[in-house]
Amino acid sequence: DQQVKQNSPSLSVQEGRISILNCDYTNSMFDYFLWYKKYPAEGPTFLISISSIKDKNEDGRFTVFLNKSAKHLSLHIVPSQPGDSAVYFCAASFGQGAQKLVFGQGTRLTINP
């Protein structure tokens, strides 16, 4: 069951540049998409979300873009900072019931000074 996929296990970006993390999904019934960030020995921390009826949501340095026709979303971090080094998970939820989150495999982002 690979409803949410993050095909890049790792990404390395120079400090100050843009980080782009990608996520694909297969189920067109998802209503919301969320990005979580995870540091070692901590639980996932919510970053930003987007409704399936939007194509962009921005919060400070973080912007999420949604392309419904391609079933693809991306998280842009500008400018990247060393503290952004973490594992980033894409997650999706349905609009019914308890709205559990379905997670992708995660992408490890490393920001180089």
Residue 19 C-beta: closest distance to another protein, Å: 20
Distances (CA, A) of 71 to 18, 20, 80, 81: 22, 16, 25, 28
The answer to whether 101 contacts another protein (rule: CB under 8 A) is yes
Handedness of CA 45, 103, 19, 12 (dihedral sign): positive
- Using the contact rule CB under 8 A, the part of the chain among 10-18, 26-34, 64-72, 76-84 near another protein is 26-34
Q: Give the sign of the dihedral formed by CA 52, CA 58, CA 64, CA 66.
A: positive
User: Side chain identity at 22, as an amino acid letter?
Assistant: N
* Distance in Å, CB of 43 to another protein, minimum: 3
Q: Does 41 bind another protein (CB under 8 A)?
A: yes
What residues make contact with another protein under the rule CB under 8 A?
Answer: 31-34, 36, 41-46, 49-51, 53, 89, 93, 95, 97-106
